[in-house]
């Protein structure tokens, strides 16, 4: 099975240094929903793996996160796209959990749920920790310039990581490869 794992903030929707704390603060990046539809149509399993330390920091609760994800799901459904799963690390960075990227715990949860080999997985993200998480399990990372992507480019020492303007550009190249 072909698997694409997407980071959420900065890849599907606009990111915010003040956190996305409500559905009103969640704004899709143009072209993201259509890109996910393209992956769906091509037969990929498409999931989100997202660190949401705003829960651990007390900025919002899991009910609010569910409402944010409902808005995201509705935006995707509006164009006929869907996600096969949303995997969340709600922990504070100091909690030292195994699911907070760059640790690969969320990716292992995805592999178990869908019975897939992570060596064949692709993760599209905007941060170094996204790329580190997929590298830790032997998969392929792709960096987008949206969100924190431009900053991540300055930290990136691995020139073999493909870099694209946004999710739509990355998916276009992936599908046409």
Catalytic positions, written as ranges: 7, 9
31 phi/psi in degrees, rounded to 5: 90, -15
What sign for the dihedral angle of Cα 99, 101, 102, 107? Answer: positive
Instruction: Name the residue with tokens 């909690």.
Output: 95
- The full DSSP string for 56-88 is HTTSS-HHHHHHHHHHHHHHHHHTT---SEEEE
Name 49's bridge partners. Answer: 87
Torsion of CA 57, 62, 68, 70, to 10 degrees: 170
- The answer to whether 123 and 139 are in contact (CB under 8 A) is yes
- Residue 29 DSSP symbol: P
CA angle, residues 117, 127, 2, in degrees to nearest 5: 25
């Amino acid at each position: 099975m072909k698997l694409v794992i997407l980071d959420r903030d900065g890849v599907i929707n606009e990111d915010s240094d003040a956190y996305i704390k409500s559905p009103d603060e969640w704004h899709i990046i143009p072209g993201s929903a259509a890109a996910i539809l393209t992956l769906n149509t091509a037969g990929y399993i498409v999931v989100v793996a997202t660190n949401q330390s705003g829960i651990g920091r007390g900025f919002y609760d899991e009910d609010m996160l569910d409402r944010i994800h409902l808005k995201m799901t509705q935006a995707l459904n509006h164009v006929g796209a869907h996600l096969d799963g949303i995997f969340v690390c709600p922990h504070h960075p100091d909690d030292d959990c195994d699911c907070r990227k760059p640790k690969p715990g969320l990716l292992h949860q995805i592999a178990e749920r869908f019975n897939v080999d992570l060596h064949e997985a692709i993760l599209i993200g905007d941060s170094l920790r996204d790329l580190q998480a997929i590298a830790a399990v032997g998969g392929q990372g792709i960096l987008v310039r949206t969100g924190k992507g431009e900053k991540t480019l300055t930290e990136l020492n691995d020139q073999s990581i493909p870099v694209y303007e946004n999710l739509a550009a990355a998916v276009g190249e992936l599908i046409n490869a």
